[in-house]
Amino acid sequence: MAFVIAEPCIGTKDTACVNVCPVDCIHPRKDEDAFEGAEQLYIDPDTCIDCGACVPECPVTAIFPLDDVPEEWRSYIDKNANYFK
Ligand code: SF4
C-alpha cells in the first residue's frame, strides 16, 4: 500500500510533506528541476513505507492512504505512480 496525493495539491505544492518523509519518496522536491513545472507533488508507491507522517503536514488535506482516497480522486492513484515510471 502507499499514500496518494490528490487534487488539492494542484497549485499548492506546499512541500511540508517532503520535509518529513523519512524515505524521500515525495517528488519533485523544491531543489529538483522538475519542481517549477510540476502541477502537483507525487508519492512513489514503491518507496512509501506507509508511515503517515506526511498527512498532518499538508495544509490542504491532499494526502490519503490508498484505501481512503475519495471516489472522485481515485485517478490520482495512477497519477502518482505514473510520475515515477
Ligand atoms: Fe513518506 Fe510516510 Fe508519507 Fe509515505 S506515508 S509518503 S513514507 S511520509
pLDDT at 1: 78
pLDDT at 78 exceeding the cut of 90: yes
pLDDT at 58 exceeding the cut of 90: yes
Per cent of the chain over pLDDT 90 is: 99
The three-class DSSP label of residue 63 is strand
- Output the DSSP codes for 7-58: GGGTTT---HHHHH-TT--EES-TTSGGGTT-SS-EE-TTT-----TTGGG-
The three-class DSSP label of residue 77 is helix
Secondary element (H or E) of residue 3: strand 3-5
What spacing in Å lies between the alpha carbon of 18 and ligand 1's midpoint? 9
Radius of gyration over every alpha carbon of the chain, rounded to an integer in angstroms: 11
pLDDT tens column, 21-55: 999 999 999 999 999 999 999 999 999 999 999 99
> Given the CA of residue 47, which atom of ligand 1 is nearest to it?
7
Question: Which residues are bridge partners to 57 per DSSP?
Answer: none
Q: Say which CATH class 3-83 falls into.
A: alpha beta
What spacing in Å lies between the alpha carbon of 85 and ligand 1's midpoint? 18
Contacts of 71 (CB under 8 A, 6+ apart): none
Q: What is the mean pLDDT of the chain?
A: 98
Q: How confident is residue 64, by pLDDT bands cut at 50, 70 and 90? A: very high
